[in-house]
Amino acid sequence: MSFTLHGLGVSGGIAIGRAMLMSHATLEVSHLTISQRMVDKEIARFDAAIKAVKGELETMKETTEHAPAELAAFIDIHTMFLEDPELVDKPRAIIRERRCNAEWALVQQMEDLVEQFEQFEDPYLRERKFDVVQVVERVIKELLGHPGRAVMKAAKGVTEEMLIVVAHDLSPADVITFKEHRFASFITDVGGATSHTAILARSLAIPSVVGMENARALIRDGEQLIVDGKRGVVIVNPDVRVLEEYQLRKNQIELEKSKLKRLKTAKSQTLDGVDVQLYANIELPGDVPGALDAGAEGIGLFRTEFLFLDRGDMPDEQEQYEAYRKVVKGMAGRPVTIRTFDLGNDKDLRPDGMSGDRVKTNPALGRRAIRLSLAEPRMFQTQLRAILRASKHGPIKLLIPMLAHAHEIDQTLAALEQAKSSLRGEKVAFDENIPVGGMIEIPAAALAIGLFLRRLDFLSVGTNDLIQYTLAIDRSDEQVSSLYDPLHPAVLMLIAHTLASAEKVNIPVSLCGEMAGDPKLTRLLLGMGLRNFSMHPSQILEVKSRVLKADVADLAPTVRRMLRLDEPGKLQEALEKLNG
Ligand code: PEP
Ligand code: MG
């Protein structure tokens, strides 16, 4: 029977293949009673499994190229659990006392621990129960004779490229393992738009859908699946007609992709000779090769907070420095725009002493991003020093998120001066002239743009938030997502005002929200005067293809007229005409 499931498409493209269910090893465990003389042997078997999994994690950390710091940290957490007496000594005692098999003893202890973690008030600590389960799963798989990579059991004659992994959830370590394989796609039951699974899915660049809720329960091993990663749709057992239709679309997408690859080295210039910079947005140092592969001329937005999400502690200066240096070195002389932590709101880190316990009613309007950094001077200094130190390895620009007030800019610049002066005192080299830019994400900032232009070296328009705040639409709430409209006249007016005002005083502006990567909007933005786009690497070549066909001198007067239209229907019509 054919049916369709819906989730959240986190990485575009179409995949057609066979379902491979990732097993829940803990569910396969049965209770066996062992004889007294087998007890020592059973404990030895348990110890060997722990050792093997530790070794596996260690190898994974060492051998995975470009392993982002965040993922390495996850492996460390899992390794730490494998050294914890609660997870190592207790099951041994259970085996001895209850004369049961190692798997059963471990699952009993896991359930106990999960219960304890659930009692924690701190949501971060509560979440760690998932790490306990993931670690135990690994050990159980080892004990059951299908270690960590057991998920990769392909049926005879089926290659990895034909397999679609169906999982309840994937740990970051699983995702690293995926980097060594070539699966067609993966889909998971859980995961929202900002879950680390979704974030990492993008770096794999295979079609994937998360948040399917019960894909694992409804899909059976070996069933044929179509995954539409753009629309977040999975078709199970498609009929011949649907299959043909998708095969055709898949072929078209692949053909277009391979044609686009030829544009990688083409100069990004319009027909009338206007240079347009196409930069990449990245979340992790491991995204750098993908950015270079897409021909990115620089990094327009490095969302540093992603490096350390899901960690309980704040990374120290050295760790941050190494992450930033890796990106700068990887980009080999191309500019790298590092944004200071945009924590709070949907991306919460909760290190000691931060955030507090109060449940916030409007986190998007609360103490997030620069507001949080200024409220936590020690944390801010650590990050600023790390960024400054990395600036001696290549061109870095510093970008500040969520600015609204002049005094926030002044305080930020003072904090930067303090970091510089401490480094000078220690005779540590850095770029004295590091450019400082501000994100235009709050309507007030776009309207009072003069404050920003007088104080900063460059601006970057964050349309994701600008739309959220202009239209009062929570960008993560799917119930109002139909009202989230980049083409709302008010949004366009704010962008146009920012671009025009900055041009008058020769301050460069980039746009790094999702709008920059939408090829339908390339001509409109060019016509508005935008010359610096920053987007997810997978979008760069398509946007470049639009740039190459555009004539700015032609577009500008048409777009000016368009911006005077404040009837959405007319605007939409004009946009279609513009894209011809
Ligand atoms: C934005 O708001 O447009 C932006 C680029 O920042 P983020 O998506 O990280 O909030
Ligand atoms: Mg933002």
Cβ atoms within 10 Å of 398's Cβ, excluding its own: 24
Q: Determine the pLDDT at residue 547.
A: 98
| 122-179 pLDDT tens trace | 877 877 887 788 788 888 878 876 543 333 444 445 566 788 988 877 765 566 556 5
Domain extents for the chain?
Answer: 3-24+150-241, 36-143, 275-440+510-578
Task: Tell whether the model's pLDDT for residue 355 goes beyond 60.
Answer: no
536 lines ligand 1 (CB under 6 A): no
Task: Quote the tokens at residue 89.
Answer: 């000594």
- How far apart (Å, rounded) are the C-alpha atoms in residues 8 and 152? 24
Q: Is the CB of 368 under 6 A from ligand 1?
A: no
Atom 1, ligand 1: residue with shortest CA distance: 462
Integer Rg of the chain from CA: 26
| Ligand 1: nearest atom to the Cα of 461 | 3
Atom 8, ligand 1: residue with shortest CA distance: 464
CA distance linking residue 423 with residue 430, whole number of Å? 8
- Identify the CA nearest to 69 among candidates 286, 280, 281, 282: 286
Side chain identity at residue 13, one-letter code: G
pLDDT for 332 beyond 80: yes
Report which ligand 1 atom has the smallest distance to the Cα of 401.
6
With beta carbons less than 8 A apart as the criterion, state whether 441 and 462 touch: yes
What does the pLDDT read at residue 35?
A: 87
Is residue 78 lining ligand 1, measured as CB closer than 6 Å?
no
Pairing of strands 396-400, 436-440: parallel
Catalytic residue among 196, 393, 488, 536: 196
Confidence of residue 62 (pLDDT cuts 50, 70, 90): confident
pLDDT at 66 over 70: no
196 in active site: yes
Q: Ligand 1: which of 305, 347, 439 to mutate, judged by most atoms within 8 Å of the beta carbon?
A: 439
Q: Is 462 in contact with 513 (CB distance < 8 Å)?
A: yes
Residues 560, 302: Cα–Cα separation, whole Å: 32
CB atoms within 10 A of CB 507: 18
Distance 195 CA to ligand 1 centre (A): 16
Q: pLDDT per residue over 3-43, tens digit each?
A: 999 988 877 789 999 998 876 666 667 788 888 988 999 99
Report whether residue 305 contacts ligand 1, using a CB cutoff of 6 Å.
no
374 C-beta neighbours (distance < 10 Å), count: 17
Quote helix, strand, coil % in the chain, to nearest 5.
Answer: 55, 15, 30
- In this structure, are residues 54 and 81 in contact, taking their beta carbons and an 8 Å threshold? no
Give every strand in the sheet of 8-11, ordered side by side.
3-6, 233-236, 224-228, 14-21, 163-167, 185-188, 208-210, 8-11
The catalytic residue among 78, 100, 488, 512 is 512
DSSP collapsed to 3 states, 445-473: HHHCHHHHHHHCCEEEECHHHHHHHHHCC
Same fold, 3-24+150-241 and 36-143: no
Residue in 370, 441, 442 to alter for ligand 1 test, most ligand atoms within 8 A of Cβ: 441
Is the C-beta atom of 512 inside 6 A of ligand 1? yes
Residue 100 annotated among the catalytic residues of the structure: no
CATH 3.50.30.10 holds for 3-24+150-241: yes
Residue pointed to by tokens 């232009």? 453
Interval 280-290: pLDDT, tens: 999 889 889 99
Report the pLDDT value the prediction gives residue 531, as an integer from 0 to 100: 98
Class of domain 36-143: mainly alpha
Consecutive H or E run containing 80: helix 69-83
The answer, yes or no, to whether any atom of ligand 1 lies below 6 A from the CB of 340, is: no
Please determine, looking at this structure, whether the domain spanning 275-440+510-578 carries the CATH number 3.20.20.60: yes
